[in-house]
Structure 1
Amino acid sequence: MVKVISLLKRAEGLSHEEYAKWAVEEHAEFARKLPGLRKYTVNVSNGGDAAYDSVHELYFDDEDARAAAFGSEHGKAAAADASAHTSSRVHVLTTEHAQL
């Protein structure tokens, strides 16, 4: 299983509350439509001076499934939606090693 960790900083002009609503409610709708997505978690910062406003975790069976999801129509729509609501995004492709 592979996991994509996405670190997002909200776009200027969006309040923390507006951004949190977008991340948890609106943007999550895009993730639900990604083909091959096994699990999706959104973590929203508590505000303040956080370097990022949210951390998103997307789980796929393998690299091929991840590439197919992000290359799909829904994947491209999700990327466009994220670009419209964020000032920066960092994606880290990982293999999770759960310890507990």
Structure 2
Amino acid sequence: MLKVMSLMKRRADMSFADFRRWAQADHPILAQKLPGLRGYRMNVPKEENPDNPYDAVSEMWFDNAEARLAAMATDAGKAAGGDAASHCASRFHLLVDEKVFV
């Protein structure tokens, strides 16, 4: 199983409240349409902290890297990626092998 963690920083002209609403209400509608998506979580701080380097972290699970690439190549993947790009000043993706201990 491949886990993709996306660290997101909002656009400078976007308020934290607007970004939080987008990340928790609007973007998940698009992300959930990705074919082959096995799990999805969005993590946004409860309160704004200007010292935080990122404003949200999303977590997505796919069977493997090929399934992720295939999903992102679809119309749904392009729509979700474009939506994230239009709301974020930067995004950094970590493709990780998650190990759960507790």
TM-score when scaled to structure 1?
A: 0.96
Partner of 2:71: 69
The answer for the alignment partner of 1:92 in structure 2 is 94
* Alpha-carbon distance in 2 for matches of 1:82, 1:67: 16
Q: Deviations over 1:33-91 (max 9, x none)?
A: 00000110000023112110000000011122111111111111111111110100000
Which residue of 2 is the match for residue 55 of structure 1? 57
Cα distance in 1 for partners of 2:48, 2:60 equals 22
1:83 matched to which residue of 2?
A: 85
**SS of 1:37 mapped into structure 2:** coil
Let me know the Cα RMSD of the aligned residues: 0.8
Question: Hey, what's the Cα distance between the residues in 1 that align with 2:68 and 2:85?
Answer: 19
1:8-47 aligned within 5 A: 8-45=8-45, 46-47=47-48
Gaps of 5+ in 2: none
- Paired residues, what number? 100
- Specify the code of the residue in structure 2 equivalent to 1:47: E
CA distance in 2, matches of 1:11, 1:77: 18
- Which runs of at least 4 in structure 1 moved beyond 3 Å after TM superposition? none
**What's the counterpart of residue 5 of structure 1?**
5
**Aligned partner of residue 35 in structure 2, secondary structure:** coil
Unpaired segments ≥5 residues, structure 1? none
Query: Partners of 1:42 and 1:73 in 2: how far apart?
Result: 21
